Structure 1
Amino acid sequence: MSYNKTYGGQFMGIGAVAKKNNNTPTVAKREFNKVEKSAESKKADKVVISIVGVRGINIPEITNGQIYFLCTAIFDNDDVKMSMEKSNHNTSLVLGEYIVSSYHVTFDEEIVLNIPEGNNFIRCYVSCIYVTESDGTRNMKLEGIGYTDAYVIKDCKAYVYSSCKLIKAVGAPDTEGSIKMSVKCVDEKHPSIVKEERPFNALEELKKKIMV
């Protein structure tokens, strides 16, 4: 089995992609649909990302293999590689289904994380792993697809479920798609459980999954 790992080009991060027009962050201007916020501003301690699925990823259909997808939560002070190497920042690897002209995948999973000191935003990054067969050899290739706008996570609030168009990562394939998800920023008393953080390697995890 051979491996080809790439993170789909450079992930620009919160500051680089958010600052436009006189260096005003776009997140400050964005009005999220139906943001539910407590009457009094209260500092958030945890963030709960509920991911329904990804739709309309217009990657050409793979006829000699399969494509698995995963989502990764990324704070503004982290990068893609750092976050993808932490188990509790990632969803499971789920096989994509090709329907008509694009890939669709259902996750129905939650990512629950403590909010590190000094972090103000979070995004969800979508990537995929191609598994193909050629001349009796199985090849695995990890590529980034895109990421969501930034969600402000400083105070307790809830961004209700909505479909978010993915922003193409710099250097990634020219793809489109959307992710349906919600984000809740909660205090330490919220019953959501943060899973133990372990070292994580998406390619190795998939290798174990498909070899079973």
Structure 2
Amino acid sequence: MTALERRLGTTMPPGYAEFMATYGEGSICDALYAWGPDRILESLDAARESWGESWFWEHPDLVPADFAAAVPVGASPSGDQVALVPGRGLVVLPRHSDDVIEVGTSYTDLVRWCTSGRLGAAHEVLWFESWAQQSCLENWSGGELDQVQDAIAGLALHVALDASRTDARTFLIPAMGGHVFVLRTSGDGDLYVHVRFEPEYVTPYARVAAALLAVGSTRDGRWGAEPTA
């Protein structure tokens, strides 16, 4: 952290070092990508160049010159950018809006804002998935929404259910180091299911896979790590 701040010439937000020490780099509620020091440094020059050449946001008193020393610290899955403006705090540069949004001065402020519903869906359950380990990732399709949800819930493997979106459910399953995300797609009523699990947790994963197959879902593909036999 000291090397990062020395390279940046500024201090990171309160709570950032503690968050990285506890959790590391990863995704918070699939709403905020929390970047580690290496990714921040790798993205620094390109971000500043982009802000200098393609600035279109507006703010009452923040101007493009303020971002010459700004630091990219994260992003959202939708392409919203998160930046630290030295002496000012953390801001969000939305992809689909031209307003600079100030979200606070601490990393906790950032997490709360990004999961509050002002960026996307509001999350009552906060969860984190690390990028440190290589996971097994699968996409499934088919089946009825209620049947699939009941099948996964019936396994009693999940410790929490994120129902922040009206069209989706995320079952958080530490027993397999991941989750099951169930989404009703628009239009023809098709169902999309995403499964993430760690390679060594094949037994609980096998129960999830069997439950999906039993209600008519089909595995469309797998990538990432391969399960450990």
- The structure richer in helix per residue is 2
Structure-1-length-normalised TM-score: 0.22
**Higher Rg of the two aligned structures:** 2
- The structure richer in strand per residue is 1
RCO higher in 1 or 2 (8 Å CA, sep ≥ 6)? 1
Structure-2-length-normalised TM-score: 0.21
